[in-house]
Structure 1
């Protein structure tokens, strides 16, 4: 961990060499994310609710999902762009170093520009919470938010790692990311209950984004869930992280280097 924080510090110092670019990129990304939520809000304001979920309750789901995904893009930028390591043959250079390749990937580059998305998600979360203070479980909701964000980050990183592992066989993963990252996390902005049964099954198993925000929210927002779901979600996230890491190690054992 000492080595990890040393490498992360070096990455941050490198990014701060161009402060204006950092501030402009962060603001631009946050603005794009705000526009995305405004489109969702326009629909909800017209139809009042989605399957009994008000705009502010959906805002809680959206805020957790958006902030978690943006945090993933901050701390795991090189995992998200792992395709480059396969196509350009850079992964070989990581394997000859006396440090875990995963540690090197996580510490090599922090995409601080994505902080704008984190701020945007937390802002929407704060606005939504300010309209839900009458809930009997409101203080439970406030207490649980750090756990929900941590759970969402673990699930996002795990999805990113499993997708990156596919590159050991396919080399290119951009198309896979549409189905394994972008589509599921966008779907998590809404209540999972609105989706058909087969899609719900996917969101609770293969792509478990339902544990990111929806499942604990059913209790915290009085939608019929039970208190033990607050424990089930982080446990499911840790289990999924273990599966993703095992798949990653399996991929490395079957890596045959880049060549022609």
Structure 2
């Protein structure tokens, strides 16, 4: 853990040498996500709700998902960009050091531009919570649980990213996989899972389990028919899924063959 923070601090110092680029990237990232939510809000204001979910309720889902994914992309961008390590042979340099390759990979870079998305997600959460029609005790429970939901979502996002990256040990290229294993599920998690077809709901609670990030606990917290136990299922599942992704990485790395680049 001490080595992790040493490596991470070095990466942060290197990134902060380019402050203007960091600020522009963060603002651009936030503006893109804000635009997406404004379009959604415009639709909801016209049609009132989507299958019983009103604008502020969807805002809670959107905010948790946005914050969770942004933290993952902030702290582990090289997991997301792992394909280049396979294609260029950069992964070889991580294997010859006396530190875990995964630790070196995670601490190699920090994508501060994702702070824009994180800030945007938290602001949407704040605005949405203020607009909810909940009694005081329910609102306090929601406020208490949101950090747990974001952390759980971050673990699930990381696990999906790491599992997708691990596929590169067999395929080398993973960009096409990411469209299906990351981009599509993360976007889907911005909205109620109940709006999707039955087969897709099953996918979002099994193979690509983004339904545990926000939707499952939200069905209880927002009075959508969920059970109290859902508040425990999501974080427990997130930890288990995270540990499974680490095991999958350890299994996959045994099949790595240098490209010789």
TM-score normalised by the chain length of structure 1: 0.98
Alpha-carbon distance in 2 for matches of 1:243, 1:197: 26
Per-residue Cα deviation, 1:231-255 (whole angstroms, up to 9, x for no partner): 0001111111122111111110111
| Residue number in structure 1 paired with 2:17 | 17
Q: Separation in 1 of the partners of 2:228 and 2:29?
A: 36
The CA distance in 1 between the partners of 2:159 and 2:134, in whole Å, is: 35
Partner of 1:216: 217
**Shift, 1:42, TM fit:** 1.2
Structure 1 stretch 3-12 or stretch 131-140: which is displaced more?
Answer: 131-140
- C-alpha distance in 2, partners of 1:6/1:140? 37
- Residue aligned with 2:16, SS: helix
Deviations 1:139-188 (A, max 9, x none): 11000011000000000000000000011111111111110001001001
Provide the residue aligned with 1:246 in structure 2.
247
Matched residue SS, 1:134: coil
1:89-137 Cα shifts (integer Å, max 9, x gaps): 0111111111111101111101011110000111111100111263451
**Equivalent position of 2:202 in the other structure:** 201
Residue 108 of structure 1 is matched in structure 2 by 108
Q: Distance in 1 between matches of 2:215 and 2:249?
A: 27
In the alignment, does 2:191 pair up with 1:190?
A: yes
Deviates more, 1:131-140 or 1:7-16: 131-140
CA shift, 1:5, in A, is 0.7
Which residue does 1:60 correspond to in 2? 60
The unaligned stretches of length 5 or more in structure 2 are none
Partner of 1:237: 238
Distance in 2 (alpha carbons) for counterparts of 1:202 and 1:236: 15
TM alignment of 1:26-45, pairs within 5 A: 26-45=26-45
Other structure's SS at 1:137 match: helix
1:225 aligns with 2:219: no
Q: Once the 2 structures are TM-superposed, how far is the Cα of residue 24 of structure 1 from its aligned partner?
A: 1.4
1:6 counterpart = 2:6:
yes
Please state if 1:74 is matched with 2:37. no
> For 1:89, what is the secondary structure of its paired residue?
coil
Query: How many pairs align?
Result: 260
SS of the counterpart of 2:17? helix
CA shift for structure 1 position 256:
1.7
Distance 2:63 2:126 in 1: 8
Structure-2 separation of matches of 1:43 and 1:34: 14
